[in-house]
Amino acid sequence: MSGTDRPIGKRRPGARLAGLWAASWLSVASACLPAAAKTLVFCSEGNPESLNPQLVTTTTGMDAAWPVFETLVAFEPGTTTIRPGLAESWTISPDGRDYTFTLRAGVAFHANARFRPTRPLAAEDVVFSLARQWREDHPFHKVSGGQYAYFRDLGLPGLIEAVEAPDPRTVRIRLREADATFLPNIAMTLGAVQSAEYAAQLLAAGEPERLDREPIGTGPFSFAAFQPDVALRYRAFSAYWGGRTPISSLVFSITPNAAVRLAKVRAGECHLMPFPNPSDLEAIRADPGLALMREEELNVGYLAFNVTKPPFDDLRVRRALAMAIDKAAIVAGVYGPGGTAARSPLPPNLWGHDPALPEPPLDRPAAQRLLAEAGLPSGFEAELWYPPVSRAYNPNGRRVADMIQADLARIGVRLRLRTDEWSAYRARMLAGEPALALFGWTADNGDPDNFLGVLLGCVPAQPGGSNIARWCDPAFDALVAEARRVSGQDARADLYRQAQGIFAREVPWVPIAHSAVFVAARRELTGYRMDPLGRHLFRGVDLREGGESRPAESRQTETRPADTRAAPQGAAGRVP
- Which residues are CB-neighbours of 460 under 8 A, at least 6 positions away? 149, 152, 153, 453, 454, 466, 467
Band (177; pLDDT cuts 50, 70, 90): very high
| pLDDT computed for residue 532 by the predictor | 87
- List the domain boundaries for the chain: 1-49+219-294+518-576, 69-215, 299-515
> Which helix (H) or strand (E) is 233 found in, with range?
strand 231-236
Residue pLDDT, tens place only, 410-467: 999 999 999 998 889 989 999 999 999 999 999 988 899 999 999 999 999 999 899 9
State the average pLDDT over residues 249-274: 96
* Number of H-type helices and E-type strands within the chain: 18, 21
| pLDDT score at 128 | 98
Our CA angle for 299, 301, 304, nearest 5°, is 130
Assign domain 69-215 to its CATH architecture.
Alpha-Beta Complex (3.90)
User: Which amino acid would we find at residue 98?
Assistant: D
Q: Where are the alpha helices (DSSP H) in 74-188?
A: 123-134, 149-153, 156-159, 182-186
Predicted local confidence at residue 80, as pLDDT: 87
Q: What is the mean pLDDT of the chain?
A: 89
* Alpha carbon distance 406, 413 (integer Å): 9
CA nearest to 41, candidates 536, 557, 576:
536
385 to 421, 444, 540: CA distances (angstroms) = 12, 24, 40
Residue 357 neighbours by CB distance under 10 Å: 16
Contact of 339 with 559, CB cutoff 8 Å: no
Q: What is the pLDDT of residue 390?
A: 85
Quote the longest CA-to-CA distance of the chain. Answer: 73
- pLDDT score at 446: 87
**55 pLDDT more than 70:** yes
pLDDT band for 546, please (50, 70, 90 cuts).
Answer: low
- CA end-to-end span of the chain, whole Å? 42
Query: How much is the average pLDDT of 228-251?
Result: 97
pLDDT in tens, 319-362: 999 999 999 999 999 998 899 999 999 999 999 999 999 999 99
Question: Given a cut of 90, is residue 560 above it in pLDDT?
Answer: no
Task: Considering only residues 3 and 23, tell me which one the structure prediction assigns the higher pLDDT.
Answer: 23
Residue 549: pLDDT band (50, 70, 90) is: low
Query: What integer is the mean pLDDT of 176-195?
Result: 96
Rounded (10°) CA dihedral 25, 193, 133, 471: 80
d(CA 190, CA 213): 16
pLDDT at 370 over 90: yes
Q: Does the pLDDT value for residue 60 go beyond 60? A: yes
**From residue 99, how far is each of 167, 183, 539, 548 by CA, in Å?**
15, 9, 28, 45
SS3 186: helix
> What order of strands is seen across the sheet that includes strand 98-103?
87-92, 98-103, 170-175, 160-167
- CATH of span 1-49+219-294+518-576: 3.40.190.10
Band (573; pLDDT cuts 50, 70, 90): very low
Percent of the chain clearing pLDDT 70 (strictly above): 88
Bridge partner list, 574: 529
Instruction: Tell me the pLDDT band of 36, cut-offs 50, 70 and 90.
Output: low
* Mean pLDDT score, 212-225: 98
List C-alpha distances in Å: 24 to 134, 158, 550: 42, 49, 14
Strands across the sheet containing 517-522: 221-227, 231-236, 249-254, 39-44, 272-274, 517-522, 290-295
Do domains 1-49+219-294+518-576 and 299-515 share one topology? The answer is no
Looking at residue 146, its pLDDT comes to 82
For range 130-145, the mean pLDDT:
95
Task: Output the DSSP codes for 242-264.
Answer: T---S-SEEEEEE---HHHHHHH
CA dihedral 357, 362, 363, 366 (to 10 degrees): 40
> How far apart, in whole angstroms, are the C-alpha atoms of residue 395 and residue 72?
34
- Does domain 299-515 bear CATH number 3.20.19.10? no
Residue 209 has pLDDT above 60, yes or no: yes
Q: Could you tell me which residues come within 8 angstroms of residue 35 by beta carbon, excluding any fewer than 6 positions away?
A: none
